[in-house]
Amino acid sequence: MKIGVIAIQGNIEEHIHALNQAMKKEQIDGTVIPVKHRGIIPKCDGIVIPGGESTTLCRLMKKEGIDTEIKNAAQKNRPIFATCAGLIAIAKKGGKEAEQTKQELLGIIDLEVERNAFGRQRESFETEVRINFLETPYNAIFIRAPKITRVGKDVETIATLNNNIIAAKQKNTIALSFHPELTNDTRIHQHYIKLIKK
């Protein structure tokens, strides 16, 4: 199994570590490859898009031609896992902030987002959330997190927090507002790996 982690910005090492741990736990042989340039994604079975700053992320992915490769992979149903700024990057529509910054989103998951919906850096927090494919709560870390303000009809809401949608899934694409790579709990990465294996 080959998983590409977009290595432009954000928690790249943390995702690579979590994926390696998750593969070990699931007893799956595989490699995790940092993706900085075009040409790698077509060879990957899955793609992870970390958080960071979505304006920069989108701009640099476009500059590298990675954006088109991700869109093609999504069309082929390759499992894609996006967190925080990654979620914004793959959304169909951004809110006011995205419009102001003229962000070009990939539009591979039918949802609308609002950036920084839970406040700025100082308002970062962690809390237990229920995720529909996990049996027990997950301690989720939110850092200038977006929320999902609308989901399309083919999109499944997989977690909410105080009536805000914070995680969604459409076919083989999983998008989260929070940062599972910043905890030692690899259950979400394991779930994603099993999705690739299917």
The two tokens of residue 56 are 């920069």
Minimum CB separation from ligand GLN for residue 64, in Å?
18
- Does residue number 7 form part of the binding site for ligand GLN (CB under 6 A)? no
What does the alpha-carbon distance between residue 65 and residue 72 come to, in Å, rounded to a whole number?
11
Catalytic (active site) residue 15: no
Helix (H, G, I), strand (E, B) or coil at 64: helix
- Does residue number 52 form part of the binding site for ligand GLN (CB under 6 A)? yes
Minimum CB separation from ligand GLN for residue 43, in Å?
26
15 or 78: CB nearest ligand GLN:
15
DSSP-derived letter for residue 180 is G
The two tokens of residue 116 are 């920084």
Which residue is catalytic, options 14, 44, 84, 191?
84
Those residues with Cβ within 8 angstroms of residue 184's Cβ, 6 or more apart along the chain or in another chain: none
- Does residue number 115 form part of the binding site for ligand GLN (CB under 6 A)? yes
Q: Are 88 and 56 a contacting pair, CB within 8 Å?
A: no
Minimum CB separation from ligand GLN for residue 88, in Å?
5
Q: Are 165 and 131 a contacting pair, CB within 8 Å?
A: no
DSSP string, 162-198: TTEEEEEEETTEEEESS-GGGSS--HHHHHHHHHHH-
Stretch that binds ligand GLN, among 31-39, 81-89, 158-166, 184-192 (CB under 6 A): 81-89
Tell me the per-residue interface mask from 117 to 146 with ligand GLN, x by CB under 6 A, - otherwise.
--------------------------xx-x
Stretch that binds ligand GLN, among 47-55, 61-69, 129-137, 182-190 (CB under 6 A): 47-55
Catalytic (active site) residue 104: no
**What is the C-alpha R_g of the chain?**
15
State the residues that interact with ligand GLN by CB under 6 A: 51-54, 84-85, 88, 115-116, 143-144, 146
